[in-house]
Every structure is written in C-alpha cells, then in structure tokens.
C-alpha cells in the first residue's frame, strides 16, 4: 500500500513538473508561441473548439470518426491475427506459409504501402481501416506465435496423461497459457494502430483527430495541434486501460503460477 502511494506521488510530481516547465517557458517567452503555445492558449482553444467545432464539425464527431476507424481495424486485425498466430505457433508448416509474409510487412513503414492501398481500395474509410489493420496485425501475430511455442511442456504432458483430446488440449491448456502474451501483443498493436492513425487520415479525410492535427499544422496553429495531441494521448491511455482491465478479468491467474 505504501509503495503504491509513493508511486502515485512520483507520477503526480512528474506531471506537475512537466506542466510547470511548460508554463514558465511560455510565460518568460523563452520559445516562440508559434512553436509552443501557453497552457492558457491551449485551454482557450479547446473550449472554443468544444463549443463551436473545427471546420464546421464538432470535436466529438472528429473523435468518433477516428475511433471508428481505429477500433474497426483493431478488431479485424485481432480476429485474423490471433487464430493465424496460434496456428503458426502450433504447426511449423502453417508458420512456413504465413511467417515470411508477416516478417516482410512488419518492418515496413505504413506510408510505404498506403498509396497502393488507396489505388486498390479508393480514398474512403476502407483504405484507412485496411492500413490500420495491417499495422496492428504483425504485433498480435508475433505474440501469438511466441506464446504458443512457449507453452510449458509439463502442462501438455499432464493433460495428455489424463486423456485430453487435441481440441481439449488446445482450449483448456494451450490457449489459456497463451492469453497473457496475447494481451501484450494486443496492447502493442493498439498503440501501433493509433500512431498510424495520423498517416491514415492524411489522404482525402475531412474529419478525425489525426486529420485535425495535420490540418492545423498547415496554418501553424500550434495551440490546436497541442489540443489534438493531448486528446489523442488521453484517448490512447483510456483505450489501453480498457484492454488492461479486460486482461485482469480474463487472465485473473496471471503471475500466480
């Protein structure tokens, strides 16, 4: 309990110091306000955009459009990557089919192939969702492969001795053992997809937080850029906390073996 309180105080102190430095740097005009706006300016523009919207679109609509693209792509990537990753970790033949493709795509920057996706799928949301799904796919796939390969042999041998079938072995032994690492991959994938969101909203988008930040940068509106970055950061933290909450409920035995 005492350690948790100390950790919370350290976190609060870190945040306070960062905001204090930001405040005094802008108050003493050590940096141009075009580069770093004051906290008051960011708060004022946040209130203005909350009340009036940005480019005739409410801030909630921008946020909803971004989250819709992000979560649709994330769930698609999870639905495909988890079974393929587990199957590849279980069978070297399946891994021989899919791992070369994933290993080729994994290090590529999303913008490197986004133009191709737009040519194939058009400039609407489908191309943006496809880009985000591809960005999220690899971390989940790799974590699933590694998790399946690291299932403890003792668990498997004990289940076989008790007469478990292959399906029972998978659903009651292998899959539960893989869940902690799968959630690590899911959290990583969510972060990767969110960082790709700005790139996905660069082409022919007229809404979304990523588009808002990019549009504001064209007019050197650093106050709006800061607001958008804070909004994206807070939203990202909340999404990550939701995944961690789900992990605690589903993988309640984590760390107890």
Could you give the CA distance from residue 247 to residue 250 in angstroms, rounded to a whole number? Answer: 5
Tokens of 76: 């698609």
Predicted confidence at residue 199, as pLDDT, reads: 76
Instruction: Give the whole-angstrom CA distance, residue 110 versus residue 132.
Output: 8
Q: How many other CB atoms are there within 10 angstroms of residue 221's CB atom?
A: 19
Residue 257 has pLDDT above 60, yes or no: no
pLDDT tens string 84-133 = 999 999 888 999 999 999 999 888 888 788 888 988 988 888 999 999 99
From the number of C-beta atoms within 10 Å of its C-beta (0-12, 13-18, 19+), residue 194 rates as buried
| Residue 165 counted as domain residue | yes
Q: Which residues pair with 54 in a beta bridge?
A: 57
Q: Is residue 256 part of a domain?
A: no
- d(CA 236, CA 136) in angstroms, rounded, equals 14
Asked if 72 and 134 sit in the same domain, the reply is yes
Claim to verify: residue 122 and residue 168 sit in the same structural domain: yes
* The pLDDT value given to residue 204: 66
Domain total in the chain: 2
Q: Say whether both 26 and 44 belong to one domain.
A: no
The CATH code of the domain that includes 123 is: 1.10.3720.10
Distance of CA 62 to the CA centre of its chain: 18
pLDDT at 222: 93
pTM of full prediction above 0.85: yes
Indicate the range of 2-11, 16-25, 141-150, 167-176 predicted with least confidence: 2-11
SS3 54: strand
Distance CA 123, CA 116 (A): 11
Token readout for 130 is: 């496809």
Count of Cβ atoms closer than 10 Å to residue 71 Cβ = 15
45 and 2 co-located in one domain: no
φ and ψ of 136, to 5 deg: -85, -20
Residue 55 lies in a domain: yes
pLDDT score at 243: 94
Same domain, yes or no, for 98 and 6? Answer: no
Segment 144-165, tens digit of pLDDT: 999 999 988 888 888 878 788 8
* Structural domain harbouring 157: 38-250
Residue 257, in any domain of the structure: no
Q: What pLDDT digit, counting tens, does each position of 104-115 carry?
A: 988 888 878 888
């Amino acid at each position: 309990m005492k350690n948790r309180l100390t950790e919370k105080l350290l976190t609060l102190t870190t945040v306070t110091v960062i905001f204090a430095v930001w405040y005094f740097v802008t108050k003493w005009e050590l940096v141009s306000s075009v580069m770093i706006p004051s906290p008051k300016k960011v708060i004022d523009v946040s209130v203005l955009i909350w009340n009036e919207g940005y480019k005739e679109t409410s801030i909630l609509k921008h946020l909803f459009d971004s989250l819709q693209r992000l979560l649709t792509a994330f769930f698609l990537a999870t639905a495909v990557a988890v079974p393929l990753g587990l199957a590849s970790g279980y069978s070297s033949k399946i891994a021989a089919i899919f791992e070369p493709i994933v290993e080729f795509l994994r290090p590529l920057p999303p913008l490197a192939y986004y133009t191709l996706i737009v040519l194939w799928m058009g400039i609407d949301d489908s191309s943006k969702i496809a880009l985000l799904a591809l960005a999220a796919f690899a971390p989940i796939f790799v974590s699933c492969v590694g998790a399946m390969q690291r299932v403890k042999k003792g668990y498997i041998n004990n289940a076989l001795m008790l007469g478990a079938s292959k399906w029972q072995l998978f659903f009651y032994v292998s899959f539960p053992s893989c869940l902690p690492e799968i959630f690590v991959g899911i959290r990583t994938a969510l972060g990767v997809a969110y960082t790709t969101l700005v790139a996905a909203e660069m082409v022919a988008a007229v809404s979304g937080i990523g588009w808002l930040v990019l549009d504001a940068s064209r007019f050197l509106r650093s106050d709006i850029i800061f607001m958008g970055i804070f909004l994206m950061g807070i939203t990202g933290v909340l999404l990550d906390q939701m995944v961690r909450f789900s992990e605690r409920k589903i993988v309640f035995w984590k760390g107890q073996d």
